[in-house]
Amino acid sequence: MRVDLYPELINILDSARALLSGRSVFLWRGENEPDPVGISLSFKPVIAEKIVHRNLDRNACVACDRRISYKKEQFTFTKPLHPYLILIHNDFLGPRAAFYNDAAENSLFEKMFETVLGFHPKTALVRELLRCHFSKEDTGAQSYVANCLQHVRKDLAQGEIRGIIIVGKAATFLFPDKNELMAKQNSVFEWQGLPTVLCPGPNRLTYMREKNFPVEQINAERKNIYDTLVMVKDKIIGGV
């Protein structure tokens, strides 16, 4: 069983779903054939525990029964040179990805941290909030987010972490209430007993560039990221 290929299969199914729902292709359909849009393209395998132990890291978590596969290197630990935890989210994290599966997003992520904070993200502890791949329907489910918090707390203890940066979509999973999420933006707050900041993710900026948003909107988003990381530098890194 090639469980490592599950994310790629799901990506194909999601692309097919988007193609059909967008009606961006012309479909010939026989009179008695079902509408392709109505065909379920969901994929929700349950990996048996014996498969986990035989094919995957024996230290991997088995808390979530509807996990599809594990994101790479999320259950191994190396103490970071800079004691800060950076929580991110990738819907799909392939075996050749660095921090983000999308090369443009990854490049921007690395550049914005190096430029403002003065160190490469790899010298801190960068973790996926969700340590496993889930189906589109299950991604972000609060019960699974709660299960993953045990790994966050373990990272905090092992890494002697002094501050937390929650990036992009990871923040929406941790704080699903929009009012609470907005209240925590542009501020340092305590979470898991440590100073924490929410930082916009690189995906929004890359999307705006790809879609040729007005320059002033792109610059405003870039400044928002810059200002947030300056706050991290001044109030978390400089404040401990």
**Residue 133's domain is classified under what CATH number?**
3.40.470.10
- Percentage of the chain lying above the pLDDT 90 cut: 59
Residue 29 pLDDT exceeds 80: no
Q: Is the pLDDT of residue 43 over 70?
A: no
99: in domain: yes
- Average pLDDT (74-101) is 90
Q: What is the per-residue pLDDT for 126?
A: 96
Mean pLDDT score of the chain: 85
Structural domains of the chain, count:
1
DSSP string, 178-228: HHHHHHHTTS-EEETTEEEEEE--HHHHHHHHHTT--HHHHHHHHHHHHHH
Residue 17 within any structural domain of the chain: no
Is 3 part of any domain?
no
78: in domain: yes
Q: Which band of pLDDT confidence, cut at 50, 70 and 90, is reported for residue 53?
A: very low
Write out the residue range of the structural domain in which residue 96 sits: 72-237
Residue 120 lies in a domain: yes
Q: Is residue 14 a part of any domain in this protein?
A: no
Residue 112: which of 213, 184, 209, 205 has the closest Cα?
205
- Mean pLDDT, to the nearest integer, of 197-221? 93
Q: Six-digit token pair at 69?
A: 């596969």
DSSP result, 94-115:
-TT-SSSSSHHHHHHHHHHHHH
- Confidence band, pLDDT 50/70/90 cuts, at residue 200: very high
- Is there a domain that residue 40 lies in? no
What SS3 class is residue 223? helix
* Residue at 98 is within a domain: yes
Residue corresponding to tokens 């947030």:
228
Q: Is the pLDDT of residue 1 over 50?
A: no
- What is residue 23's predicted lDDT score, i.e. its pLDDT? 59
Residue 48: is its pLDDT beyond 70?
no
The reported pLDDT for the residue numbered 50 is 47
**C-alpha span between 64 and 147 (Å, rounded):** 7
